[in-house]
A = this chain, B = another copy of it.
Amino acid sequence: MKAIVTVGLKPGVLDVQGKAVARALGDLGFAGVEEARVGKVIELDLSGYGDRASAEKQVKDMCEKLLANTVIESYRVEIAS
């Protein structure tokens, strides 16, 4: 089973990496970029977690404990078969 976790800064948290990307794209001549936000995507190969619901529960637990800094980041979990 495969899980895809997307982690990004919560709204209101200053995204300095995103600002740098937007500015660099502007400097390269891409004038139409109004904003950029940078996050992480983590693909996990899982085995032995039974059905999708219990796999999702486990992956959310991984996010809370390791993959995301929940003070400033939010996460989204998708379970792909």
Interface residues of chain A, those whose CB is within 8 Å of chain B, are 6, 8, 18, 21-22, 24-25, 28, 30-49, 58, 61-62, 65-67
Contact = CB atoms under 8 A, between A and B. Distances in A.
A40 B39 contact: yes
Contact of A44 (B24, B36, B62): B36
A24 B66 contact: yes
For the complex of A and B, 7 pairs with smallest distance between CB atoms: A35-B45, A32-B48, A34-B45, A37-B43, A41-B41, A39-B41, A32-B49
Nearest to A61: B30
A66 B32 contact: no
Contacts of A66: 21, 24-25, 28
A58 B30 CA distance: 8
